[in-house]
Amino acid sequence: MKFPIFLDNHSTTPMDPRVLEAMLPYFTEKFGNAASRNHAFGWAAEEAVEQARKQIARLIKADSKEIVFTSGATESDNLALKGVLEMYKEKGTHIITATTEHRAVLDTAKSLEAKGLATATYLSVDKNGMVNPQDVEKAITDKTILISVMLANNEIGTINPVQEIGKIAKARGILFHCDATQGVGKIPVDVQAMGIDLMSFSAHKIYGPKGIGALYVRKRNPRVRIAAQMDGGGHERGMRSGTLAVPLIVGFGKACEVCEQEMTSETARLSKMRDRLQADIMAALEESYLNGHPTNRLPGNLNISFAYVEGESLLMGMKDIALSSGSACTSATLEPSYVLRALGVGTELAHSSIRFGLGRFNTDDEIDYTIKKVIEVVTKLREMSPLYEMAKEGVDLKSVQWAAH
């Protein structure tokens, strides 16, 4: 086993060696600019880009002409929201989204609101973190121009009923954007069946390189248009200017191809490891609570709150395992996870949460080690915890008057 063990695959993933191998020639030998139409260097680069477009489109059941390359999912989210609002502002300026979206969507929506370019409704979610399609429908007004709901949540792994939301959007003639960054390559995605009009995703979450992402933009039924946010040269059919990062794109394509080929077997393997991690930990530790949907969740995701123990100290006690937490102490802004708060988990349990993100390169040995370590460290920290002590004495913590400052 190599230490530290990496169990934070929702934050990023190691590159698959096959992806790296595919990329290398495009740095030094086939280094042409894909927009150079007049010589072999350019043609080779363009060919590689088109091949990657096809690989990426196949994974999501789209047409290769519907793929727009960006610097990542954050840029894709920005392009989708800002691009739609700008293009269709005569039709309407109301956006419907959810409180559990990634900051790339939430902050973009808030920025549009602050500039007076849009109004937004932020739907709440149920206790499993799921968006209710009925809530989406109820929020629609005659000014609604865009619905943006993510496929799967990066913190709690909950998968949203995207197909139903797509149906509602279609029936009302409203564009549906889906931030599918955590879902693409892990669970089957079909933009036709799901009624998706715009979709953001990126390479570095699926064993590809950082710095490259895509926005799927529907070409038919309906033809979606977006106003470019990056001007200068008209690349990507005028939707996103800038020289294409050919090696990264090649890597992105290869990463998608590998995901398509291995999805079924990988899902089975990851689910098994994750289920074992979950079962063994929760059986050994009382007052541990699963955050997110029990069954409708990403195969590699697990998010558990351990009562009476704070997340950052838990991570410190498991320094040889890379994980993340919803605790305020682990965030730059000292705010606990807004996703966990949106579930109604309560700030105390938000501070006590740990997110496990299993991935392609994790092994059973690593899971065994992690189970042991988690049980050991939670137990040690509970011994150290005045809250655990009070709970054992029968004190109702909710009734205590805390001397906070």
Contact residues: another protein, CB under 8 A: 308-313, 316-317, 319, 327-330, 332, 334, 336, 346-348, 351, 383-389, 397, 402-405
Nearer to another protein, 114 or 334 (CB): 334
Q: Does the annotation count 329 as an active-site position?
A: yes
Catalytic residue selected from 178, 256, 259, 329? 329
Nearer to another protein, 309 or 374 (CB): 309
**DSSP β-ladder status, 324-325 and 353-357:** antiparallel
Longest dimension (CA), the chain: 80
Supply the minimum distance, in Å, between the C-beta of residue 361 and another protein: 24
Among 151, 362, 373, 126, smallest CA distance to 354 is for 373
Q: Are the CB atoms for 174 and 140 separated by under 8 Å? A: yes
Q: Are the CB atoms for 400 and 390 separated by under 8 Å? A: yes
Nearer to another protein, 153 or 330 (CB): 330
Nearer to another protein, 201 or 388 (CB): 388
**Residue 70 bridge partners (DSSP):** 213
Among 126, 125, 178, smallest CA distance to 152 is for 178
Supply the minimum distance, in Å, between the C-beta of residue 291 and another protein: 16
Instruction: Specify the amino acid at residue 69.
Output: F
Supply the minimum distance, in Å, between the C-beta of residue 365 and another protein: 24
Q: How far is CA 359 from the centre of its chain?
A: 14
d(CA 404, CA 384): 20
Instruction: Specify the amino acid at residue 207.
Output: Y
Supply the minimum distance, in Å, between the C-beta of residue 210 and another protein: 21
Give catalytic residues, as residue numbers: 329
